[in-house]
Structure 1
Amino acid sequence: MALDFSGQNLRGRNFKGQDLADANFSYADIRGANFTNANLTGANFSHAKAGLQRRWAIFLVLVSWLLSGLSGFLWAVNGYFVSLIFDSKLDNQIGGWITLIVLIVFFFVTIRQGIAAGLGVFAVTIAFLVAAGTGNAIFIAAAAAFAVAFAFAFAFAVAFAFALAFAVAVAGAVAGAVAVAIAVAGAVAGAVAGAVAGAGVGTLFNIYISWRAMKGDEKHSLVRNIAVTFAATGGTSFRGANLTNADFTQATLKSTDFRNTILICSRWHQAKMLDRIRPGSTYLQNSQVRQLLVTGQGQDKNFYRENLRGINLQSANLADASFIGADLSEANLQDADLSRAKLKQTQLDGTDLTGANLTGAFIEDWGITNTTKLHGVRCEYVFMRVPTKEDPDPLRKPDNKREVFADGDFANFIKPIFDTLDLYHNQGVDPRAIAIAFNNLAENHPEAELEIVAMEKRGNDKILLRAKTATGSDKSQLSAEYFDDYNQLKALSQSQQLLLIEKDSYVNDLKNMLTTALGQPKFYTQGDTNMSDISGINIEGSSNVSGIAGNNSIANLGTISGNVSIALNQLPDATDAEKPGIKELLSQLQDAIIQSTYLPEEEKTEALEQVKALAEAGKNPQESTKQKTAKTAITMLKGIFTGLPAVASLVEAGNKLLPAIAKLFGLA
């Protein structure tokens, strides 16, 4: 039974390493509590109050005031050195000017690039001055260097005050007061004004840097990180804990340590002070992601290549957001609005998209797997490519812009096949024998749960039959048994085959489907849905899927073929129907390459790459650089076609088309 700590005072309690799965900590005071390495799977921390215990907060504030006073003193020293500009001794005047110049450089670089850069430039400047000068002026400059090197400590002090949620004015006022007091007490002969001014300017400068750091300015992240680390000392610790599915809705989380935690599907809606935590390397380190988690509003935001693995964005508004190259594996995107979202190369392994809205999303090369949950996805249409100015709605599916997916159709259309039996026929395809052999295999192995999910014509007389199988099926054994039976059936006479077919309407239907497939110029089928040009879908985790996706040569062929088509569509049509232009000639060449029965898949891919290069060059065929590209591509194509038999249709097409293409590029 899950433990119930709801509403309890748990300040300073030690839960290190304990199993607290599904425990209820809602409304509890967990300031200073230690949950290091605990199992908090499914734990409820809604409305809980984390952070520092009062004694730790007081101690840290005192430390911040001490640093403030030290910083004020050092700025006063700087002010005193600058005031030596008005001294009667020349060496002192030179030292004063050196200090002033060094401070100006330090201020300028720090404001523009951050404290780390400011100190770096400052150190180089001082090193140069020491190497170049002599005498008392150098001593003063060195003293100034010492002062500035420690002066930035006040920036941390003020940042600590921010992180601890105490008024910045308090720390600033203390620093100013201490600085002025020390300046007055230690000033000599008219240097009081300089010391006081130095303390005032330094105080204002540090307050500004601290404010920018705590506002999330990346230039001053060093200050912020140190401040947050300081402020989290002694606070609530979840370091190394398993917080899978934990709920932090409306919890107060300042000064909390989340380093090395497991945050899969943890909920952060309306959590308070999430920007005051130690996030470590988790997705909480990104300020934009934190904002998204708290508000659920990510419309039009850019999450390019972000590691969002395991993030919980249930019901979030992600319309028009860009997740190009992002990792959303194991994320909870239930009922999220992903309409028009860019999901190019987005990793979605194990992601829950149940009920999500994907209408208008761009899914080029997205990484769905067999664990991606697509149940109840709402989607009227998608785009298989990311839009460009030239093509704002590339490869829309469904192809007819007047059509949309009905409820449930999108999942059936896009759901990948990961455990398939691929039966490739490349010699004298016999549709009757295929239909009978497959039916026999399904009847002999009901445990394999064989189901035809796709078929693809290859060349003029080759076909790939793909069947879904139950998990763990021995596909090697199934394939061997199938082809043994198939080859025997091929040897039967037509009349004998017809007798077998007549006994089973399923076999007859399958035979007719295969016959239809072989009669089409290009044919893909998945279930009851005819499909074309779907090679842009990237399905990870499968080495068996081909023709639809994957990293095999067939997938590469489909991908490059689609890219060639896109490039060709960007070329203008011929003005004279009887005189084909570059677009028409290259389209004919593309079809000849794809349909060639003599050219291996790898060489087809290479040939299509050259056709794509010609299409790109065809945009400006008279430019010398484009002509060189075209000449190289034509030479490569001739080399590829050289090894083919003279009777090959591709050889005939090449002999006819390549000279005509060369002429249009001015290469004849």
Structure 2
Amino acid sequence: MSLDYSGRNLRGKSFKGQNLTNADFSHADIRGANFTNAVLKGANFSHAKAGLQKRQAIFLVLVSLLLAGLSGFLFAFNGFLASFMFNNKSLENQVISWLTIIITIIFFVAAVRRGIQFAFGAGALTGAGAGAGTVALAVALAGALAVALTGAGAGALTGAGAGVGTGAVALAVALALAVAGAIAVAVALTGALAVAGVIAVAVALTGALTGALTLALTGAVALTGAGAVAIAGALVSAYIGWRAMKGDEKYAFIRNIAIAFAAFGGTSFRNADLTNANFTSATLKNTDFRNATLTRTCLRNVKKLDYARPGNTYLKYPQLRQVLITGNGRQKNFERQNLRGINLQGADLVDVSLIGADLSKANLQDSDLSRAKLVQTQLNATDFTGATLTGAYIEDWNITTHTNFRGVRCEYVYMRLPTDDNPEPWRKPDNREEVFGDGEFGDFIKPIVDTLDLYHNQGVDPRAIAISFKELAEKNPDADLELVAMEKRGADKFLIRAKVAPEADKSELNQQYFETYNYLKTLSPAEQKQHYLNQLSEKNKEIELKDKEIGLQQKQLASFENMIGTALGHPHSTATDIKTILVLAANPKTTSHLRLDEEVREIDAGLQRARKREKFDLQQRWAVGVRDISQALLDFKPHIVHFCGHGGGDDGLAFQNQTGQLQYVSTAALAGLFELFSPKSNQKVECVILNACYSEVQATAISQHIPYVIGMNQAVGDQAAIEFAVGFYSALGAGESIDFAYKLGCNAIAIAGIPENLTPIIHVK
């Protein structure tokens, strides 16, 4: 049974951390009550009165008036000293007085016209500093230094006083902000704006006159100057406080400070769960909502919501607060705002713009969303029961099976945003004489409910898309992601549509995908590839992927990337254009050590730097055994086979047996193997490079079946082998022919100063 506190006096009571689900606090006095961390799901606070208790309100009003009086006194003191120095015939004091007055005037004018933050930078206009406070300090130091340089004893005291007085401008300016904040607090506390302003100004003037009378030992001129500055300062402070509480963005930070100060000791809903809570017609002045859960919380016709402390909840948007209170959001703009869980039941949202906004779990029951822009809007579990959607623009909106369309009224929708040339783009139903009948809109929308739409509108990177999508699928296996469509939208926009499991959280999937995608876009192509390889490496540790599976996944990624490029109309290459390079490396235990790792690393680096790097897929097999050769050819279906290791001339090429010991594979066996994988046998191998000593014998035999074969006619050193490989693959990566690549490889050996440039021999069939 739910608890009933309706109509009760609960001032100052603590309900901290309690479970008060469905409790009734209607018409209760909850001023000063503490609901921090409480569970208040479905609680009723209609017509409740929140805020400060009287004793706290009185204390804060007194503090605000004290600050106002102190500020007035300091303004008067500064004005007195400026006027006093005018009576002094010293040129230095006259200059300081004028600068003090000019800086003060600049600050006042800038504060009123452009805001406090601009005013602190307005001192830069005088050339004396970056802000009014800085200017005042600089002038004070300059005045003191000038007097010290003149050596005037009596004048030194006057100059020191001038420095203190001018420095007081900075302090007075700071306290003017305190006055503004104090007046704002008084307004927030009492609700009587005019009365609080008059009281604050009166106190400020009283302080000013008192200070002036105390200091006016030299005559009426000083008194007049002190009074003028004090009056001006008090009036400007009052004006700033008034504008801040009116919501003027120029004084937003003063308002925020005042609200936070006033909410101290008020009703606290900090960290409370207010899901489905009802605050209809409640008074929420000086209430703390920081980190509260406001999912579908009803705030219709509440009072003083502008004086509540919103924290980072959606209550921080002034325009949105008015919509929550009045229900009138016609033609408002809430693009890309986080409105998760907002309650706009029955609201007038005609022509509202919600492009890119997050309205997941929101209550839009019976709201009028005619012609609303719901483009790319997140709508997971949003409740549209009884809403009107006629004429809405629903391009790439993200709805799910949990989005509720029961009883929706909709005659037609548009699948694109309007343009000048096409004001009714892609209307559904297509026939403009037809409209959806009862229940037909739900039937129309059902086929796209179970899809995840990933919309890219700020540059498209095919590789980043491919990697991001594959990672998303691997990290969320229960989502059953299945690519169903890719579509180019405009010059640089792209849509990926994937089918997902009904229970999948599309909003969360969308967020995960774009976090990865936006990160990958900051990386170079080589870094993107390394990122993907690192992911495969981690997966390999977890589930022991085989080299074959890793290679296949890389090929699938490359194919996916090229599908995206094709859909964009500027493919990196088509899937059939990608050439797979298979490196077979063997260095048996009983043979001399070769720098094979360096050779392969240089090949990979050269391809990554190449202009057409996307046309090549480099695969590697290390410590290749006799049994591994044919298996690798079957697994990867390579176009180019690159062997690096030892050659034995007529004995064959050196591989290793199951114990890691040397075992030669004969020339005839190698020739027979490549005959099976030749283009004549409908296989893909078009080039074989035998980067091993005395391998021309094998190259000659293999060339009977493979179009291009390169072997070595004598012993070849490690460095020469590396230089040849780098030159050869750099040329291929630049789009050159195999014949040209061979010549460049030989030339690379010569340029390196190695006398082995005639060692590589090419056989062309």
TM-score for the superposition, normalised by structure 2: 0.56
CA displacement, residues 168-226 of structure 1 (integer Å, 9 cap, x when unaligned): 22222222223223322332322111111111111110111111111111121111011
Does 2:262 correspond to 1:231?
Answer: yes
Q: Which residue of 1 aligns with 2:277?
A: 246
Does structure 1 retain, via aligned residues, the 8 Å contact 2:369–2:389? yes
Q: Which residue of 2 aligns with 1:658?
A: none
Q: Which residue of 2 aligns with 1:125?
A: 135
Q: Which residue of 1 aligns with 2:596?
A: none
* Residue type at the aligned position of 1:96: S
* Residue type at the aligned position of 2:132: F
Q: Which residue of 1 aligns with 2:223?
A: 192
Does structure 2 retain, via aligned residues, the 8 Å contact 1:374–1:415? no
Q: Which residue of 1 aligns with 2:351?
A: 320
Mapping for residues 145-294 of structure 1, pairs under 5 Å: 145-164=170-189, 165-166=191-192, 167=195, 168-188=197-217, 189-190=219-220, 191-294=222-325
Secondary structure at the aligned position of 2:332 is classed as coil
State the alpha-carbon separation in 2 of the partners of residues 474 and 241 from structure 1.
Answer: 32
How far apart are 1:111 and its partner, in Å?
2.6
* Residue type at the aligned position of 1:230: F
Does structure 1 retain, via aligned residues, the 8 Å contact 2:96–2:139? no
How far apart are 1:35 and its partner, in Å?
0.9
How far apart are 1:154 and its partner, in Å?
1.1
Does structure 2 retain, via aligned residues, the 8 Å contact 1:313–1:334? yes
Does 2:115 correspond to 1:114?
Answer: yes
State the alpha-carbon separation in 1 of the partners of residues 290 and 335 from structure 2.
Answer: 23
Q: Which residue of 1 aligns with 2:22?
A: 22
State the alpha-carbon separation in 1 of the partners of residues 46 and 168 from structure 2.
Answer: 53
Q: Which residue of 2 aligns with 1:37?
A: 37
Q: Which residue of 2 aligns with 1:379?
A: 410
Secondary structure at the aligned position of 1:312 is classed as coil
Q: Which residue of 1 aligns with 2:99?
A: 98
- Indicate how the Cα distance of structure 1 residues 143 and 249 shifts in structure 2: closer, same or farther if over 3 A, else same: closer
CA RMSD of aligned residues (A): 3.7
Q: Which residue of 2 aligns with 1:499?
A: none
- Indicate how the Cα distance of structure 1 residues 550 and 24 shifts in structure 2: closer, same or farther if over 3 A, else same: closer
State the alpha-carbon separation in 2 of the partners of residues 151 and 475 from structure 1.
Answer: 62
Secondary structure at the aligned position of 2:569 is classed as helix
* Residue type at the aligned position of 1:115: I
Q: Which residue of 2 aligns with 1:76?
A: 76
Q: Which residue of 2 aligns with 1:587?
A: none
CA displacement, residues 399-443 of structure 1 (integer Å, 9 cap, x when unaligned): 1111111111111111256779xxxxxxxxxxxxxxxxxxxxxxx
Secondary structure at the aligned position of 1:238 is classed as coil
Secondary structure at the aligned position of 1:237 is classed as coil
- Indicate how the Cα distance of structure 1 residues 277 and 540 shifts in structure 2: closer, same or farther if over 3 A, else same: farther
- Indicate how the Cα distance of structure 1 residues 417 and 401 shifts in structure 2: closer, same or farther if over 3 A, else same: closer
Secondary structure at the aligned position of 1:195 is classed as helix
How far apart are 1:392 and its partner, in Å?
1.2
State the alpha-carbon separation in 1 of the partners of residues 137 and 100 from structure 2.
Answer: 13
Q: Which residue of 2 aligns with 1:88?
A: 88
The 10-residue stretch of structure 1 (197-206 or 167-176) with the greater mean CA deviation from structure 2: 167-176
Q: Which residue of 2 aligns with 1:358?
A: 389
Q: Which residue of 1 aligns with 2:2?
A: 2
* Residue type at the aligned position of 1:542: V
Q: Which residue of 2 aligns with 1:465?
A: none
Q: Which residue of 2 aligns with 1:59?
A: 59
How far apart are 1:103 and its partner, in Å?
0.8
- Indicate how the Cα distance of structure 1 residues 149 and 89 shifts in structure 2: closer, same or farther if over 3 A, else same: farther
* Residue type at the aligned position of 1:610: G
Q: Which residue of 1 aligns with 2:762?
A: none
- Indicate how the Cα distance of structure 1 residues 339 and 538 shifts in structure 2: closer, same or farther if over 3 A, else same: farther
* Residue type at the aligned position of 2:500: S
How far apart are 1:298 and its partner, in Å?
0.1
How far apart are 1:391 and its partner, in Å?
1.7
Q: Which residue of 1 aligns with 2:736?
A: none
State the alpha-carbon separation in 2 of the partners of residues 474 and 604 from structure 1.
Answer: 22
How far apart are 1:132 and its partner, in Å?
5.3
How far apart are 1:119 and its partner, in Å?
3.3
TM-score for the superposition, normalised by structure 1: 0.64
How far apart are 1:371 and its partner, in Å?
1.3
- Indicate how the Cα distance of structure 1 residues 392 and 85 shifts in structure 2: closer, same or farther if over 3 A, else same: farther
State the alpha-carbon separation in 2 of the partners of residues 407 and 163 from structure 1.
Answer: 50
Mapping for residues 441-480 of structure 1, pairs under 5 Å: none
Does structure 2 retain, via aligned residues, the 8 Å contact 1:30–1:51? yes
How far apart are 1:370 and its partner, in Å?
2.0
How far apart are 1:604 and its partner, in Å?
5.5
* Residue type at the aligned position of 1:170: I
State the alpha-carbon separation in 2 of the partners of residues 540 and 268 from structure 1.
Answer: 37
Does structure 2 retain, via aligned residues, the 8 Å contact 1:74–1:151? no
State the alpha-carbon separation in 2 of the partners of residues 550 and 416 from structure 1.
Answer: 21
State the alpha-carbon separation in 1 of the partners of residues 227 and 353 from structure 2.
Answer: 52
Secondary structure at the aligned position of 2:410 is classed as coil
- Indicate how the Cα distance of structure 1 residues 236 and 219 shifts in structure 2: closer, same or farther if over 3 A, else same: same
Q: Which ranges in structure 1 are unaligned for 5 or more consecutive residues?
A: 421-471, 480-522, 525-532, 553-598, 613-635, 644-668
* Residue type at the aligned position of 2:212: A
Does structure 1 retain, via aligned residues, the 8 Å contact 2:21–2:40? yes
State the alpha-carbon separation in 2 of the partners of residues 66 and 15 from structure 1.
Answer: 34
CA displacement, residues 324-360 of structure 1 (integer Å, 9 cap, x when unaligned): 1111111000111011001111111111111111111
How far apart are 1:123 and its partner, in Å?
3.1
* Residue type at the aligned position of 1:156: G
Secondary structure at the aligned position of 1:152 is classed as helix
State the alpha-carbon separation in 2 of the partners of residues 69 and 419 from structure 1.
Answer: 65
Q: Which residue of 1 aligns with 2:426?
A: 395
State the alpha-carbon separation in 2 of the partners of residues 214 and 299 from structure 1.
Answer: 25
Does structure 2 retain, via aligned residues, the 8 Å contact 1:367–1:540? no
How far apart are 1:292 and its partner, in Å?
0.4
How far apart are 1:255 and its partner, in Å?
0.7
Q: Which residue of 1 aligns with 2:377?
A: 346
* Residue type at the aligned position of 2:329: G
- Indicate how the Cα distance of structure 1 residues 540 and 255 shifts in structure 2: closer, same or farther if over 3 A, else same: farther
Mapping for residues 484-563 of structure 1, pairs under 5 Å: 542=500
User: For 1:367, which of 398, 408, 416 is the aligned residue?
Assistant: 398
Q: Which residue of 1 aligns with 2:468?
A: none
- Indicate how the Cα distance of structure 1 residues 194 and 129 shifts in structure 2: closer, same or farther if over 3 A, else same: closer
State the alpha-carbon separation in 1 of the partners of residues 419 and 141 from structure 2.
Answer: 57
Does structure 2 retain, via aligned residues, the 8 Å contact 1:85–1:97? no
State the alpha-carbon separation in 1 of the partners of residues 2 and 439 from structure 2.
Answer: 38
How far apart are 1:163 and its partner, in Å?
1.1
Does structure 1 retain, via aligned residues, the 8 Å contact 2:77–2:215? no
Q: Which residue of 1 aligns with 2:169?
A: 144
State the alpha-carbon separation in 1 of the partners of residues 337 and 431 from structure 2.
Answer: 34
* Residue type at the aligned position of 1:301: K
CA displacement, residues 349-393 of structure 1 (integer Å, 9 cap, x when unaligned): 111111111111111111112211112111111111111112211
Mapping for residues 424-435 of structure 1, pairs under 5 Å: none
Does 2:569 correspond to 1:610?
Answer: yes
Secondary structure at the aligned position of 1:407 is classed as coil
Identity %: 54
How far apart are 1:317 and its partner, in Å?
0.4
